[in-house]
């Protein structure tokens, strides 16, 4: 990206030559390898794993990542994870690729800790403005027709919330890691509502969790009937306890708080309930003291995950810039990347499935000549919405809020490869 096309193809050849020197050398192709230095000769010696038998299948009934991946974990920020009354950790976005978040790495946000629920003791009640109140077991729900599998992102409205007043946390795990993207298995929420029979004045739905926080949110009936799901599966297996086992509400494209975990009750009503989580919390206080009401949809957003503060640039020459884009209004249509703080932009290459309301992966293959970079990405979605700058957002909303910060992120790559969270003024 910084070099001419001629230089680019020359050094690309150099890299391929080094990589072709032997499969056993591949592991040594870190920092030095990409620059063409000789790999450590010891790596070509016969190793223990080549000499001794490994574990058998009985040793690992449920597989775990390699011990060498032990740093790829959810992390929290000490001052943000005060207690079990309110806790949050973050997805290690900088260490992942593709669009699916592995189940054990999905960020968690709990308002009363993790409920450990025996599935045979769990029930879902549907009542209120319905023809007949119903109570379902999990097995009842699994017998409903119309089972479906859908990939959706879930983003907490507070994601990037610490960045409203300026660059704050050093790592995309912390600035953008309150998002995950998995394939849900379940049934349309519509199916159980229709089974109960909606009365004509049924306009809103209250969803309640079975955890200690009794999390409750009001959801417009229109959304509930359109694409919301009752989900029990996550990437092919049961939901994890952290994600609401055995049943959670899936509200595609809408703020994470509405995706009630450990879902136990659905009440049908004719107006919103004005619960704590939709009045004093999860509303955006504007500069003039008024609040935006019901900011349900997560607007288009993107972030460069590599390089980023926890994944700095390791070598000059060929590099793969990578990132994620998503929109609560539909599919991502384009992502632009800048390396000069937003003066010039180029369109990134999108790879992998492009699904509505799902994380979407983008890449820019480029050569780094060792100069300072100010890296940004800008997402566009199928409604024509363009991700704004942080200053544009501040002009419209002030800096009181912590929610719905989808402004453009800047990473400063220094000559030594170190990468920092900054803002371009
Ligand atoms: N029952 C219940 N549902 C809940 C919560 C909770 O604390 N209890 N937290 C909400 C919030 S604020 C978010 S952002 C998402 C987080 O989902 P996750 O833990 O799967 O990432 O769940 C939502 N659903
Ligand atoms: Mo949240």
| 381 C-beta closer than 6 A to ligand 1 | no
Task: Using the mean position of ligand 2's atoms as its centre, give its distance from the Cα of residue 27 in Å.
Answer: 40
| 213 C-beta closer than 6 A to ligand 1 | yes
Task: Give, in degrees to the nearest 5, the angle at Cα 301 between 400 and 316.
Answer: 115
Mean per-residue pLDDT for 102-125?
A: 97
Give the pTM: 0.90
18/12 Cα distance (integer angstroms): 10
Please give the order of strands across the beta sheet that includes 123-128.
134-137, 123-128, 263-269, 204-209, 216-220
pLDDT one-digit tens code per residue, 7-30: 333 333 333 333 333 333 333 333
- Picking from 303, 307, 308, 302, the residue whose alpha carbon sits closest to that of residue 332 is 302
Distances (CA, A) of 237 to 74, 104, 143, 184, 250: 20, 12, 17, 9, 16
DSSP state of 35: H
Task: Using the mean position of ligand 2's atoms as its centre, give its distance from the Cα of residue 146 in Å.
Answer: 29
Residue nearest to atom 5 of ligand 1 (CA): 110
Count how many residues are written for the chain.
Answer: 425
Please give the pLDDT value at position 38. 63
Please give the pLDDT value at position 80. 81
Q: Which residues, in sequence order, are bridge partners of residue 305?
A: none
Mean per-residue pLDDT for 166-180?
A: 96
Task: Using the mean position of ligand 1's atoms as its centre, give its distance from the Cα of residue 210 in Å.
Answer: 12
- Ligand 1 atom closest to the Cα of residue 108 is 19
Mean per-residue pLDDT for 83-103?
A: 95
Which ligand has the minimum distance to the alpha carbon of residue 155? Answer: 1
Spell out the domain ranges in the chain. Answer: 5-69, 101-292, 301-422
Token digits for 376?
């940004």
Residue nearest to atom 20 of ligand 1 (CA): 243
Asked if the model's pLDDT at residue 396 lies above 90, the reply is: yes
Mean per-residue pLDDT for 133-157?
A: 98
Check the CA dihedral 128-132-137-138 and report its sign.
negative
Please give the pLDDT value at position 19. 31
Note the CATH architecture for domain 101-292: Alpha-Beta Complex (3.90)
Q: Which of 231, 259, 281 has most ligand 1 atoms within 8 Å of its beta carbon, as the pocket-test mutant?
A: 259
Token digits for 424?
């371009």
Residue nearest to atom 2 of ligand 1 (CA): 261
Asked if the model's pLDDT at residue 202 lies above 90, the reply is: yes
Please give the pLDDT value at position 88. 95
237/233 Cα distance (integer angstroms): 5
CB-side exposure of 231: number of CA atoms within 13 Å?
31
- The pLDDT confidence band at residue 45, using thresholds 50, 70 and 90, is confident
272/169 Cα distance (integer angstroms): 35
Which ligand has the minimum distance to the alpha carbon of residue 184? Answer: 1
Start-to-end Cα distance in the chain: 23
pLDDT one-digit tens code per residue, 247-278: 999 999 999 999 999 999 999 999 999 998 89
Tell me the CATH number for domain 301-422: 2.60.40.650
């Amino acid at each position: 990206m910084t070099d001419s096309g001629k230089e680019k193809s020359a050094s690309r050849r150099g890299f391929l030559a080094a990589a072709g020197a032997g499969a056993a050398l591949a592991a040594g192709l870190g920092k030095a390898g990409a620059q063409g230095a000789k790999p450590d000769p010891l790596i070509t010696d016969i190793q223990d794993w080549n000499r001794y038998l490994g574990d058998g299948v009985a040793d690992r009934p449920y597989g775990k990542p390699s011990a060498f991946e032990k740093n790829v974990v959810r992390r929290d920020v000490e001052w943000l994870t005060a207690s079990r009354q309110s806790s949050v950790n973050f997805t290690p976005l900088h260490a992942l690729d593709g669009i699916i978040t592995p189940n054990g790495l999905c960020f968690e946000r709990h308002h009363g800790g993790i409920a450990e629920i025996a599935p045979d003791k769990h029930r879902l009640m549907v009542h209120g403005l319905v023809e007949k109140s119903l109570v379902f077991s999990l097995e009842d729900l699994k017998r409903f027709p119309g089972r479906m599998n859908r990939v959706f992102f879930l983003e907490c409205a507070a994601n990037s919330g610490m960045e409203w007043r300026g660059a704050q946390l050093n790592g995309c795990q912390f600035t953008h890691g309150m998002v995950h993207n998995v394939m849900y298995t379940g049934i349309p929420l519509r199916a159980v509502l229709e089974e109960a029979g909606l009365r004509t004045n049924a306009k809103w739905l209250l969803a309640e969790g079975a955890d200690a926080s009794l999390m409750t949110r009001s959801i417009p009936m229109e959304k509930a009937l359109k694409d919301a799901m009752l989900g029990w599966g996550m990437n092919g297996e049961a939901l994890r306890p952290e994600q609401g086992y055995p049943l959670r509400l899936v509200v595609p494209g809408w703020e994470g708080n509405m995706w009630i975990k450990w879902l136990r009750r659905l009440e049908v009503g004719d107006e919103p309930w004005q619960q704590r989580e939709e009045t004093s919390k999860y509303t955006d206080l504007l500069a003039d003291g008024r609040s935006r009401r019901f900011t349900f949809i997560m607007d288009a957003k993107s972030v460069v995950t590599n390089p980023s503060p926890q994944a700095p640039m390791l070598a000059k020459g060929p590099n793969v810039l990578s990132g994620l884009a998503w929109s609560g209004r539909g599919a991502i249509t384009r992502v632009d990347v800048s390396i000069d703080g937003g003066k010039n932009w180029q369109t990134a290459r999108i790879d992998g499935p492009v699904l509505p309301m799902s994380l979407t992966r983008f890449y820019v293959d480029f050569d780094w000549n060792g100069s300072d970079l100010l890296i940004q990405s800008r997402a566009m979605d199928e409604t024509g919405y363009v991700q704004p700058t942080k200053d544009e957002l501040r002009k419209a909303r002030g800096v009181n809020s912590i929610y719905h910060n989808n402004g453009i992120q800047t990473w400063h790559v220094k000559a030594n490869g170190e990468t920092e969270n900054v803002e371009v003024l």
